[in-house]
Structure 1
Amino acid sequence: MGELVERVDDRDEVLAVVGRSEAIRQRWLHRIATIVCRDARGRTLVHRRPAFVFKFRCTGAISPYWLGLHEAVVDGLLTPDPAEIAWYDWLAGDELAALVKHEAFVPDAREAFERYVALQPRP
């Protein structure tokens, strides 16, 4: 069935979970999401993902899919919008490994993290 989306009515009430390609083909109203990143000067972040690390077939919480993991190095001060980001922190390897085991992490993210760590050189 591919990627699943929520088919909704004109009041944004969920009618069913359907395949994205079917929702498009049938022209059904459905939900999608996107993010626009801006800086304090109002500029919009536009990017291309050059730092491809690996991909794997993920079972997925709602359907199987191929997940591509990319990596970026951030050198600079982060100032997330508190209306959008409830919490953030830089975590060391052991702290992150412990946090990823928490039930709040979706299995897909946990699997991606474990595969990423397995590729890292051992000290």
Structure 2
Amino acid sequence: MSEPTDELLDVVDEQDRVIGRATRAEVYARGLTHRCAMVLVRNAEGRIFVHRRSAGKQYAPGTYDVFVGGVLGVGESYAQAAVREAEEELGVSGITTEPLFRFLFDLESEACSWFCDVHQAVWTGPVTPQVEEIDWHGWLTEEEIAERLDEWDFVPDGREAWRRYLARG
């Protein structure tokens, strides 16, 4: 299943202030700066939810990610989007997220940029990942993720968010 290209998104400037609206298709076609929420989810044992994005994803289909998340809709806050995306992609309800940091990701190869608001959460119950979004998932340790970073193709913004997450100490 592909993502809705007619979904409206807020377009923002380099200070993350809303300056307009555009459809998802227009945002990507014109390289407009927009917003994304990302959530690092750990289980009770401290393992991290890692998944392979479905082939129907508009951005980086078939790549791996250590974050669940997605773009913000018009008027949606980062916190709202983090919870919504985590619940949708994990197939759960009642998750609580904690904001960590935000950065501007610039995908130079596609002349597109977006603000990534990174959150974390702990989920101790079962998950039923959204099949339209996720082809595979597992719970990996940080050491297992480090090994796979050289073996698997990871989504570029997730790779950068992971690097920044680890740099926080």
Distance 2:90 2:97 in 1: 21
Q: Does the CA contact (< 8 Å) of 1:57 and 1:67 recur in 2?
A: yes
Q: Does the CA contact (< 8 Å) of 2:89 and 2:129 recur in 1?
A: no
Aligned to 1:87: 136
Distance 2:104 2:131 in 1: 34
- Consecutive unaligned residues in structure 1, runs of 5 or more: 8-15, 22-30
After TM superposition, the score normalised by the length of structure 1 is: 0.55
Aligned to 1:25: none
Deviation at 1:82, TM superposition (A): 5.2
- Consecutive unaligned residues in structure 2, runs of 5 or more: 1-10, 13-21, 34-57, 59-69, 72-84
Identity, % of aligned pairs? Answer: 27
The structure in which a higher percent of residues are strand is 2
Q: Map residues 41-80 of structure 1 onto 2, 5 A cutoff.
A: 45=93, 50-60=97-107, 62=110, 63-80=112-129
Give the partner amino acid of 1:106: V
| Count of residue correspondences | 98
1:111 aligns with 2:130: no
> Of the two structures, which has the highest relative contact order with CA contacts closer than 8 Å and spacing of 6 or more?
2
RMSD over aligned Cα atoms: 4.0
After TM superposition, the score normalised by the length of structure 2 is: 0.42
Aligned to 1:99: 148
Range that drifts further, 79-88 or 69-78: 79-88
Q: Does the CA contact (< 8 Å) of 1:57 and 1:65 recur in 2?
A: yes
Q: Does the CA contact (< 8 Å) of 1:4 and 1:20 recur in 2?
A: no
